[in-house]
Amino acid sequence: MSVEFRKDLFADERDDDLNEIGKPTQRQDMLGHVTGRSPFYDDHLFEGLLHMRCVRSPHHHARIRSIDTSEAERLPGVKKVIVGSDVPNNLNALLSLLDFGLDDEPLLSDKKVSYKGEPVAAIVADSERIARDAVAKVRVDWEVLPHVLDVEEAIKPGAPSVNGAYPANKFIYHGKYDHQKLRYGDVDAALRQADHVIEGRYQMSPIEQAPMETCGAIAAPETNDRFVCYTATQGLFFSLGTAAKLLDLSSARLHFIGGTVGGGFGGKVDSLHEPLAILGCMLTGKPCKYMFDREDEMQVGAPRGAERWYITDGVMNDGHIVARKFIGYFDAGAYTRLSSYAIIKGAGHLPGPYTIPNVYADIYCVYTNRTPATAMRGFGITGVDFAIENHMDKVANTVGIDPIELRILNAYRDGDMKAHRREAKNTALIECCQVAAEKSGWQTSDWVKQQSSLSGGGGERGQLPTHTATDQHGFVQDGQSGSYGGGSKRQEKSAYAETAAARAAPPAAAPPLRSMPVAQPPTQPARTPEPVQSAPAPAPATGPTAEPPQPQTRRSPARFSSISGLRRR
């Protein structure tokens, strides 16, 4: 394995005492892997193991008139047919454990299905084959409903309502808005003064994580009135908490064993298998396995969701980007799962690693009749980065600037202010661009070679905008809440009161466009020891770091923290 370490970069910022970094270190589980002895969840054998298969919707969207399981129940070897009414608490949202979002998804649907492959019943049988045969014998009377598969179609008036908890097909942020807002400076004013306005539309398809081991779990009765659950989950306690909630069990009665996972990549956090396997075990008293086959994994297993982004940049002739506006649509599929959180992450990432004085984003978490989306490596970031970096190339082409030069010209430098109102520290985009250009034989100017993340930043670039244009569009009038920042329903009233007050605040007069000088002579790196204060007062509609103070209650929402900024101090 050849890994090159550029210890010359930022050499004076750390002691060169890294004794492990840079040296290959053997995995502790490697011997198990090469001998085939690593214990994956399905490598635990149980006498009398029962197998579970689900009856799934053949339709994108349909009401369930009735489910007739009688023929399936009569099949020899069928031990139990589980339907929605057998699930003690048959409505959940994965992030409800963080008090983020309304419960919107049943474990087994009993009223309607909102995506193709949604489960409506689970067969528990002596063998997988018998379970499959029984699935074929369940009769569901469907009333097929109109469906919508496109994010922008889904939020038009009159579109089919996909998700009962969010009838307008949009997740509600902070208990207030039907999208996640980011407001920093005044984008519209800056666009009017820019030499070029450059627009782009970018679309990413869903991506299946496709782990080699499909998702699954085995549950078995344990002594002391507990259930043991061997699982492929990537989030053991997350899955435990979800199972406890859906099954209305004390988590003390659940003994989860995991840790050896045959590839996850984000696709093994949805905790669909553990509760159902445990329920099968509870209802039969026997060990029960619920596992996706490969077709399930590809069709029903939650992918990285599709994203669509519209980007509008205001660019000066010299290549400085003075405004960047995003309209983003995340396709959550039929249920929230983790998409709402992905957008919070994505909003914190905007406008990419660039210092742009005016940034605006409206990001919608949209429900469609597609397979629910979930996490995948870098989720919330990868899709919009694809859009941003393609757009950077488009800007470079339009303005006639070398794409590396454009990036370095606009790159974050230490001491700059980021759009989510944190000081940029430990920036290294310039150095990355320089090394990438060098490695790929890309010809660059002397100016490019001379730039450094340690100089040219801060100062005026480190200041918050003198004025941020805010607005109330997308304000939710009808009191839907329960989402991140809005907290529990008990908090709704106070959240709305603050919003109303903020709405009354008049915007200040538009300030002159800030210039972003970077070609300063090298000076001391701007390193502010203290974090920059949070946003100025009248910024109710900004990102998560600038939310208005909320009364602390027992169920106050967890804050998503970031570990970036800890590297170089």
Site residues (vs other proteins, CB under 8 A): 1, 24, 26-27, 29-38, 40, 42-43, 45, 53, 127-130, 132-133, 135-136, 210-214, 260-265, 293-295
Residue 367 CB, shortest distance to other proteins, in Å, is 25
Residue 117 CB, shortest distance to other proteins, in Å, is 14
Nearer to other proteins, 39 or 507 (CB): 39
Residue 40 CB, shortest distance to other proteins, in Å, is 7
Residue 124 CB, shortest distance to other proteins, in Å, is 15
In whole angstroms, give the CA distance from residue 566 to residue 368: 39
Nearer to other proteins, 77 or 200 (CB): 77
Nearer to other proteins, 138 or 428 (CB): 138
The label of the residue with tokens 């492990």 reads 20
Residue 29 CB, shortest distance to other proteins, in Å, is 7
Q: Which two tokens stand for residue 11?
A: 């050499």
Half-sphere exposure of 514 (CA within 13 A, CB side): 26
Nearer to other proteins, 39 or 511 (CB): 39
In whole angstroms, give the CA distance from residue 431 to residue 415: 16
Nearer to other proteins, 234 or 410 (CB): 234
What is the residue type of 289?
A: K
Nearer to other proteins, 212 or 537 (CB): 212
Give the total residue count for the chain.
569
* SS percent in the chain: helix, strand, coil, step 5: 25, 20, 55
Residue 42 CB, shortest distance to other proteins, in Å, is 7
Q: Which two tokens stand for residue 10?
A: 């930022």
Nearer to other proteins, 286 or 324 (CB): 286
Burial class (CB in 10 A: 0-12, 13-18, 19+), 564: exposed
Nearer to other proteins, 293 or 393 (CB): 293
Residue 33 CB, shortest distance to other proteins, in Å, is 3
Residue 198 CB, shortest distance to other proteins, in Å, is 30
Residue 209 CB, shortest distance to other proteins, in Å, is 8
Burial class (CB in 10 A: 0-12, 13-18, 19+), 485: buried
CB 50 within 8 A of CB 126: yes
In whole angstroms, give the CA distance from residue 156 to residue 65: 28
Q: What is the DSSP string of 480-532?
A: ---STTT-SGGGHHHHHHHHHHHHHSPPPPPPPPPP----PPP-S----SSPP
CB 230 within 8 A of CB 44: yes
Residue 263 CB, shortest distance to other proteins, in Å, is 4
Nearer to other proteins, 33 or 63 (CB): 33
Nearest to 188 by CA among 359, 388, 316, 347: 359
Nearest to 114 by CA among 363, 368, 325: 368
Nearer to other proteins, 199 or 295 (CB): 295
Residue 228 CB, shortest distance to other proteins, in Å, is 18
Strands 50-56 and 288-291, sheet pairing: parallel
| Number of C-beta neighbours around residue 386 at 10 A | 15
Nearer to other proteins, 5 or 8 (CB): 5
In whole angstroms, give the CA distance from residue 45 to residue 52: 16
Residue 386 CB, shortest distance to other proteins, in Å, is 20
CB 147 within 8 A of CB 160: yes
Residue 1 CB, shortest distance to other proteins, in Å, is 6
Q: Which residues contact 183 (CB under 8 A, 6 or more apart)?
A: 360, 468, 469, 470, 471, 539, 541, 542
- Give the phi and the psi of residue 424 in degrees, each rounded to 5: -75, 125
Nearer to other proteins, 130 or 424 (CB): 130
Q: Which two tokens stand for residue 113?
A: 């299905």
Three-class HEC string of 39-50: CCHHHCCCCCCE
Q: What is the DSSP string of 281-296?
A: HHHHSS-EEEE--HHH
Nearer to other proteins, 143 or 293 (CB): 293
- DSSP state at residue 1: -
- DSSP state at residue 80: E
Residue 309 CB, shortest distance to other proteins, in Å, is 25
Nearer to other proteins, 116 or 461 (CB): 116
